[in-house]
C-alpha cells in the first residue's frame, strides 16, 4: 500500500460558517503528523473505498462504525429536521475525517454525510481505531486533535446561527469562498461556481429563492457579479459585517 501523503496546497479547503477564516482548514492533516511507519500501520487496519458523487457515506440514525479519512474529493455533512429541511454543517476536504464524534463505533450518527463529487476514502473501523490508539500514542493524539477541530467547527456554526442574521451569514460565506477558493484577477476575486444556490441555502439556513434574491441585490449594488460559471467579488470590503 502507498503512504498517506501530506495535503498539497492545491487541494480545496474545507468550508463551514465561521468567524475565523484562519481556522477553516485546521484538522486537514489528521494523519499527516504521523511517521511514515505509523501511517502504514493505520492503512493496514483501514479499507480504501470509493463513493460516487451524490452517494451517501452514512446517515442520521445509523450506528457508528468508525471514521472515514478523505483522500480525494469533498464530503458534505448535514442534518435533516423532522420536516425534512436540511442544514449543511460543513464541506470536508482532503485530509479531514468524518464519522465522529463516536469514533470508536458506539451510539448512532446524529447527522448524515454524502459526496459532493467522486471521492476516495480510507475507512478505519471503530474497533481498529481503538486498537491503534492503544498501540500508537501519536494516533491517539491525532484523534484528539481531530475531535478538537470538529468541536471548534460546530461551535463556530452555532455561534454564527445564533448571533448573525441570515443576510450576514450569506455575506460571511461569500467572504469564506473568496478567501479559500477565490483567485485574484485584475483587482477582483473570482470564485468558480461549483456550489449551487440550493447548497448555499442549506449552508446559511435560507431558501433557494431567498439566496437568488439576495445575490441579485448584491449584484445590483455593485458588490459582486454572478454568471453561470463564476461569482466575481468586486467589493470584498462591503461583505464584511
What residue ranges do the domains of the chain occupy? 21-162, 166-236
Lowest-confidence pick of 65-74, 110-119, 144-153: 144-153
pLDDT band at 30 (very low <50, low <70, confident <90, very high): confident
Cα separation, 2 vs 39, in Å, equals 10
Please determine, for residue 29, whether its predicted confidence score (pLDDT) is greater than 80.
no
Using a 10 angstrom Cβ sphere, with 0-12 exposed, 13-18 middle and 19 or more buried, the burial of residue 20 is exposed
Determine the pLDDT at residue 217: 95
Cα separation, 174 vs 176, in Å, equals 5
Q: What is the mean pLDDT of residues 184-203?
A: 89
Q: What is the DSSP string of 56-73?
A: EEE-TTSBP-EEEEEEES
DSSP H or E stretch at residue 38: helix 36-45
How many angstroms from the chain centroid is the CA of residue 145?
16
Q: What is the mean pLDDT of residues 9-35?
A: 75
Please determine, for residue 4, whether its predicted confidence score (pLDDT) is greater than 80.
no
One fold for 21-162 and 166-236: no
Determine the pLDDT at residue 23: 66
**Between 202 and 20, the higher pLDDT residue:** 202
CATH number at 166-236: 1.10.10.10
Closest CA to 49 of 67, 31, 27: 67
**Which residue's C-alpha cell is 461569482?**
231
Domain 21-162 listed as CATH 2.60.120.10: yes
pLDDT, tens only, 101-121? 999 988 999 999 999 999 999
pTM, to two decimals: 0.86
**CA-CA-CA-CA torsion sign (102, 107, 111, 113):** positive
**Between 171 and 13, the higher pLDDT residue:** 171
What's the chain's average pLDDT? 89
Q: What is the mean pLDDT of residues 65-71?
A: 95
49-71: string of b/e by CB count within 10 Å (b at 16+)? eebeeeeebbeeeeebbbbbbbb
Determine the pLDDT at residue 25: 72
Amino acid at each position: 500500500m502507498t503512504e498517506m501523503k501530506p495535503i498539497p496546497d492545491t487541494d480545496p479547503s474545507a468550508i463551514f460558517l465561521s468567524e475565523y477564516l484562519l481556522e477553516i482548514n485546521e484538522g486537514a492533516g489528521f494523519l499527516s503528523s504521523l511517521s511514515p511507519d505509523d501511517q502504514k500501520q493505520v492503512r493496514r487496519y483501514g479499507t480504501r473505498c470509493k463513493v460516487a458523487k451524490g452517494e451517501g457515506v452514512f446517515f442520521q440514525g445509523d450506528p457508528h462504525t468508525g471514521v472515514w479519512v478523505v483522500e480525494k474529493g469533498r464530503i458534505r455533512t448535514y442534518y435533516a429536521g423532522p420536516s425534512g429541511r436540511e442544514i449543511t454543517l460543513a464541506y470536508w476536504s482532503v485530509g479531514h475525517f468524518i464519522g465522529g464524534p463516536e469514533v470508536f463505533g458506539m451510539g448512532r450518527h446524529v447527522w448524515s454525510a454524502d459526496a459532493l463529487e467522486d471521492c476516495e476514502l480510507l475507512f478505519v473501523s471503530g474497533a481498529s481505531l481503538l486498537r491503534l490508539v492503544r498501540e500508537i500514542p501519536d494516533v491517539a493524539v491525532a484523534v484528539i486533535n481531530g475531535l478538537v477541530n470538529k468541536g471548534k467547527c460546530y461551535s463556530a456554526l452555532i455561534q454564527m446561527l445564533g448571533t448573525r442574521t441570515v443576510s450576514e451569514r450569506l455575506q460571511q460565506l461569500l467572504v469564506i469562498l473568496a478567501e479559500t477558493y477565490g483567485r485574484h484577477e485584475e483587482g477582483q476575486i473570482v470564485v468558480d461556481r461549483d456550489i449551487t444556490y440550493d447548497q448555499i441555502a442549506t449552508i446559511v439556513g435560507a431558501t433557494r429563492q431567498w439566496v437568488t434574491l439576495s445575490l441579485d441585490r448584491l449584484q445590483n449594488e455593485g458588490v459582486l457579479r454572478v454568471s453561470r460559471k463564476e461569482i466575481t467579488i468586486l467589493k470584498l470590503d462591503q461583505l464584511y459585517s
